[in-house]
Structure 1
Amino acid sequence: MLSANKEQRLFSRMQVNATVILATTSERIQGTCVNLSPEGVLMRVDRGYCEPGQEWQLVLPSASEQVPPLMAVARVLRVEQEDTCDLVALYLEDVH
């Protein structure tokens, strides 16, 4: 049995401080990845760009030319307003 203070997730999150790009056919925004798991991304973006249910093309550029960027279709699960930005949780639906 897990203790009450243990995180009860299937996958652990990796803390990341990297640029993430979200795009649609008509819009492109840049944010900062806070953490990453095999199923999702938590990121900070400017206020007012993301709403629950939206789908975006997500690109997490690689730090190395030998490693391709992470690309996925991402669906917004929730948006929490912070002092200067929005904290956006995205579910990665189609990673390639």
Structure 2
Amino acid sequence: MLTANHDQRSFQRMALDTKIILANAQERVEGICRNISATGALVEVTSGQCQLDEEWQLVMPSADNNVEPLKAIAKVLRVDAGSTTDVIALSLSAVR
């Protein structure tokens, strides 16, 4: 018997707990990536740092100096505000 998969996402998410950097022309924000897929990421940042529809350059440094960091354009799709941190849903494009 097959079990129902209630997660109807196009891509599976991979749970992470790794540092990321979001940057644009005006500022740089450090955060923690909680999960990532081929087209999106869920990150935690200090409250008030990111706003809906903003675009950022996302950089996820590599633990190995021989491996390039993951880079992508990230658009803020959702902001779940908290008292000290916000959880941000990002849409990723131009991933390299």
TM over 0.5: yes
**Contact (CA 8 Å) 2:47, 2:83: kept in 1 or not?**
no
Q: 1:43 matched to which residue of 2?
A: 43
State the percentage of identical aligned residues: 45
Q: 1:82 matched to which residue of 2?
A: 82
Q: 1:17 matched to which residue of 2?
A: 17
TM normalised by structure 2 equals: 0.92
**Contact (CA 8 Å) 2:35, 2:43: kept in 1 or not?**
yes
Aligned-pair distance for 1:6? 2.5
Aligned-pair distance for 1:2? 7.0
Could you say what the CA RMSD is over the residues aligned between the two structures, in angstroms?
1.5
Segments of structure 1 that go 5 or more residues without pairing to the other structure are none
**Contact (CA 8 Å) 1:2, 1:8: kept in 2 or not?**
no
TM normalised by structure 1 equals: 0.92
